[in-house]
Amino acid sequence: MKQLRVGLIGYGFMGRTHSNAFTQVKNFFDLEYQPVLKAICARDEKNAKAFAKKWGYESIETDWRKLISRDDIDVIDIAAPNNVHAEICIAAAKAGKMILCEKPLAMNGPQAEKIVAAVAKAKVPNMVWYNYRRVPAVTLAKQLIDEGRLGKIFHYRAKFLQDWTISADLPQGGAGLWRLDAKVAGSGVTGDLLAHCIDTALWLNGNIDTVTATTETFVKQRKHTLTGKMEKVTIDDASLFLARFSNGSLATFESTRYARGHKALYTFEINGENGSIFWDLHDLHRLQVFDYKDESKIRGWKSVHITDGDHPYMKNWWVPGLQIGYAETFVHQVADFIQGLSSGKMASPTFKDGLATDYVTDAVLKSAKTKRWEKVKKVK
Selected binder of a second copy within 44, 45, 58, 308 (CB under 8 A):
308
Stretch that binds a second copy, among 38-46, 84-92, 200-208, 257-265 (CB under 8 A): 257-265
Contact indicator for 45, 115 with CB cutoff of 8 Å: no
Asked if 322 touches a second copy (CB under 8 A), the answer is yes
Measured from the CB atom, the residue of 228 and 261 that comes closer to a second copy is 261
Contact indicator for 198, 205 with CB cutoff of 8 Å: no
Three-class SS state of 289? strand
Q: What residues numbered 152-191 form the site for a second copy, per CB under 8 A?
A: 154-155, 157, 159, 161-164, 166
Selected binder of a second copy within 304, 339, 348, 366 (CB under 8 A):
304
Selected binder of a second copy within 299, 315, 375, 378 (CB under 8 A):
299
CB of 260 to a second copy, least distance (A): 5
Contact indicator for 145, 289 with CB cutoff of 8 Å: no
Long-range contacts of 373-379 (CB under 8 A, 24+ apart): 373/210, 373/211, 373/212, 374/210, 374/211, 374/212, 374/213, 375/209, 375/210, 376/207, 376/208, 376/209, 376/210, 376/211, 377/109, 378/207, 379/352, 379/355
Q: What residues numbered 221-240 form the site for a second copy, per CB under 8 A?
A: 238, 240
Stretch that binds a second copy, among 40-48, 76-84, 114-122, 307-315 (CB under 8 A): 307-315
Selected binder of a second copy within 242, 339, 340, 348 (CB under 8 A):
242
CB of 272 to a second copy, least distance (A): 6
Asked if 375 touches a second copy (CB under 8 A), the answer is no
Selected binder of a second copy within 124, 281, 347, 355 (CB under 8 A):
281
CB of 176 to a second copy, least distance (A): 10
Measured from the CB atom, the residue of 69 and 221 that comes closer to a second copy is 221
In Å, how far are 25, 158, 328, 330, 377 from 310, measured between CA atoms? 19, 27, 17, 20, 38
Binding mask 2-41 for a second copy (x = CB under 8 A): -----------x--xx-xx--xx-xx--------------
Total of chain residues touching a second copy, rule CB under 8 A: 93
Q: What are phi and psi of 351, to 5 degrees?
A: -60, -35
Residues 6+ apart with CB under 8 A from 226: 173, 174
Q: What residues numbered 76-135 form the site for a second copy, per CB under 8 A?
A: none
Selected binder of a second copy within 77, 328, 336, 353 (CB under 8 A):
328
Q: DSSP labels for 11-57?
A: -SHHHHHHHHHHHHHHHH---SEEEEEEEEE-SSHHHHHHHHHHHT-
Three-class SS state of 244? strand
Stretch that binds a second copy, among 69-77, 191-199, 303-311, 335-343 (CB under 8 A): 303-311
Determine the Cα–Cα distance for residues 372 and 297; give it in Å rounded to an integer.
Answer: 45
Asked if 217 touches a second copy (CB under 8 A), the answer is no
